[in-house]
Amino acid sequence: MTDYFKITLPEDDINAISNLGLAHLGDAVFEIMVRTWMCEHGYAKSSNLHKMTVQRVSAPAQAKAVEAILPHLTDREAAVYKRGRNTRVNSVPNRATIGEYHAATGLETLFGWLYLHGETVRLNELFALIMKEDV
């Protein structure tokens, strides 16, 4: 049975996943980290919990998050981020610029890629840099 909380795929399998596939997964990884952080920091009792979560996982917020982690990425991580950022997208949410959306897609691609590599420690390091302002 596959343990989807501790998954590590072979490099060839990860490389076969499209950038948008990695971003799709990374979006969920990022959101579960945000939701967990919010519960840990006492926001779970708030009636605005969903709204507060959406604010942190929106494309503009993720684009801002990229600014916090970009200087800390390894060359390999930066390459994955850029690969995701440069992916052609068919639509952009109304509340985001094309630049924000591309940056957010890059962040999500990186988080999906790290997750599939089983790099949970690195995910936590990067996430801590992102949430630093909110602590």
Region of 92 (left: φ > 0; alpha: ψ -120 to 50; beta: rest) is: beta
pLDDT value of position 134: 46
pLDDT value of position 61: 95
pLDDT tens per residue across all 135 residues of the chain: 888 888 878 999 999 999 999 999 999 999 999 999 999 988 877 778 888 898 899 999 999 999 999 999 999 999 999 999 998 887 777 788 989 999 999 999 999 999 999 999 999 999 999 998 543
Query: CATH class for domain 11-134?
Result: mainly alpha
pLDDT value of position 133: 52
Angle formed by the axes of helices 49-57 and 59-69, nearest 10°: 60
Report how far Cα 103 is from the mean position of its chain's Cα atoms. 10
pLDDT value of position 135: 37
Active-site residues: which are they?
A: 27
**How far is 72 from 36, CA to CA, in rounded Å?**
23
